[in-house]
Amino acid sequence: MSQNNLNFIVDPINDDIASSQTIYVMQPSPSTTTTSLDSATLSGIQSVIIDACQRAVEKVEEKNKLILLRLTENVEGMRKEIIDLKKAVSHNNATIIPSKPYANIEDFLNFEKTILEDIDKFSLLKADLKRWSTSNSRKFVTKAWQKIMTDNVAESFSWRGTADKKCIRAFTVATVIHQTFAENGGKEEDFVFASKSYFQYAKNRIKIKTTKKVN
């Protein structure tokens, strides 16, 4: 038995015995003593554990937020692609070019206003013309004007404009035909020549048609 684990106790009643021998009484060593934690210590440990748990939860929440943000961005991107796809499909199926050429100037002016004020309608008219033909010859320009207006309407316009005729080259419809023709590979001089001729000889074409009806 180690003496380090023993306390020396002297019996205070019998001095004779105390002087002649030592009584050893075994008591637990301080190193092996079981102690209970006070409330302050327990509270501190609990606080440390709670703080650690909260930090772990916060990290998980932060990761979840990043994941949710990326998912939201992906969903928004997919939604935009779907909208664009729907527009493209709708655009491909839609048409704005008249089923019959405009026979009076008021209808044509309303059509011009629509093309001028709505960029989608502007693009749609170009798509209509391209679906109809991708030719780069002067006939494309002449046929395009014929699809949009009759000779009776064309007679009210001229390429540069006059005192009694409107300047057709300033119209948005002329811009659409011009751009489409250029994208087909047509030349500027061919567009101008064909357009000038179409309006310049509108009156003559009306006379020829009238003569044919009479005969």
- For residue 205, the model assigns a pLDDT of 95
90-111 exposure pattern, b = at least 16 Cβ within 10 A, e = fewer: eeeeeebbeeebbeebeebeeb
Pairing of strands 23-26, 6-9: antiparallel
User: Is residue 97, in this structure, part of any structural domain at all?
Assistant: no
CB atoms within 10 A of CB 122: 19
Q: Are residues 21 and 122 in the same domain?
A: no
User: Is residue 49, in this structure, part of any structural domain at all?
Assistant: no
User: Is residue 55, in this structure, part of any structural domain at all?
Assistant: no
> Per-residue pLDDT tens for 56-91?
888 888 889 889 888 988 888 888 878 766 665 555
> Per-residue pLDDT tens for 151-174?
999 999 999 999 999 999 999 999
Total tally of structural domains belonging to the chain: 2
User: Is residue 117, in this structure, part of any structural domain at all?
Assistant: yes
Question: What radius of gyration, in Å, describes the C-alpha atoms of the chain?
Answer: 49
User: Is residue 180, in this structure, part of any structural domain at all?
Assistant: yes
Distances (CA, A) of 24 to 2, 4, 12, 20, 111: 11, 11, 14, 13, 120
> Per-residue pLDDT tens for 184-211?
999 999 999 999 999 999 999 999 988 8
Q: Are residues 110 and 206 in the same domain?
A: yes
User: Is residue 59, in this structure, part of any structural domain at all?
Assistant: no
What are the backbone dihedrals phi and psi of residue 2, each rounded to the nearest 5 degrees, phi first?
-80, 135
167: β partners: 158
User: Is residue 78, in this structure, part of any structural domain at all?
Assistant: no
Q: Are residues 201 and 114 in the same domain?
A: yes
181-199 exposure pattern, b = at least 16 Cβ within 10 A, e = fewer: beeeebeeebbeebbbebb
Per the structure, the complete domain to which residue 193 belongs is given by: 105-214
Q: Which amino acid is residue 32, in one-letter code?
A: T
- For residue 189, the model assigns a pLDDT of 96
Q: Are residues 111 and 20 in the same domain?
A: no
User: Is residue 152, in this structure, part of any structural domain at all?
Assistant: yes
- For residue 11, the model assigns a pLDDT of 43
DSSP-derived secondary structure letter, 184: T
Mean pLDDT of 138-148: 96
Can you tell me the distance from the alpha carbon of 8 to that of 16, in angstroms, rounded to the nearest whole number?
A: 16
